Amino acid sequence: MQHQVEEPLNAEQHPKREVARAILGLVDLMARLRSEDGCPWDRAQDAATLKPYVIEEAHEVADAIDRGGVGELRDELGDLLFQIVFQARLLEERGEGDLGDVARGITAKMVRRHPHVFAATGPLDTPDQVADRWEQLKEKERSETGRSLLDGLPVSLPALTAASRMGEKASSVGFAWPSVRAVREKLDEELAELDRVIGSGDPARLEDELGDVLFVLANLGRILGAHPEEALRAANRKFRARFGYIETRLNDRGSSPSQSTLAEMEGLWAEAKRLGL
């Protein structure tokens, strides 16, 4: 059944009415895809089978933001929105809510966590003040429900991001390194422990010590104001560009990396670096 939307009453309301019309159209589309005469693939899905697509689409949104293409970002946001509407439809079919409940729930949460905007608690002037108030409100909610400080972090987060976010949450209640110097000393300590097991031939110990190094590095990035996941993404992009340069130059010479010496490739790497790649 099609949702009926009233015609806009005036020009000011028109954009919001058009947004509502578009969202309702997507909801109707999703209902049709899941109907008996809909799409066999869509009908076969459940929340678990769709989980990889939710994660993939979120990453594609992040990539589109990095590339800065407005049209591409709009398309990727649409793909992510489709996954949200799909999951909401599954909730509705199970009798556990619908897209309206999802929207009302997040709206209520955001109003609750922005008392400086929606309640008479006094204005906040800086992003840091807002972040502090946000954590205070979340702490109050956690104490009322008995949840851990770290419960809100999904296990599917990229590991570097999760390490940084855990450090950030712990530091919000005072469990933190006192200075950058203290983190660097901890990093040196963990690297020394890694050095001691490198020759052991014990994969489990090596993985354990390497994990400790990466955890400290992630939190060093957080403390320095350099998001570790973004820093590593940038390093990956840089490596991709420079190695691509090596491949291109070698191909121009009728050669390839596997046919070249390390010294040749390092020379081209330095050349790519000089070119700003």
Cα separation, 138 vs 136, whole angstroms: 5
Give CA angle at 137 (131, 140), nearest 5°. 145
Task: Compute the 3-state secondary structure of the chain and give helix, strand, coil in percent, each to the nearest 5.
Answer: 75, 0, 25
CA distances from 29 to 24, 83, 252 (A): 9, 13, 51
Q: Which residues of the chain have pLDDT under 50?
A: 1-9, 11
What's residue 130's pLDDT? 74
Cα separation, 62 vs 221, whole angstroms: 20
Of the candidates 274, 179, 168, 178, the one whose C-alpha atom is nearest the C-alpha of residue 227 is 168
Could you read off the pLDDT of 159-187 as tens digits, one per residue? 898 999 999 888 878 888 999 999 999 99
Could you read off the pLDDT of 82-120 as tens digits, one per residue? 999 999 999 999 999 999 999 999 999 888 888 878 776
pTM more than 0.75: no
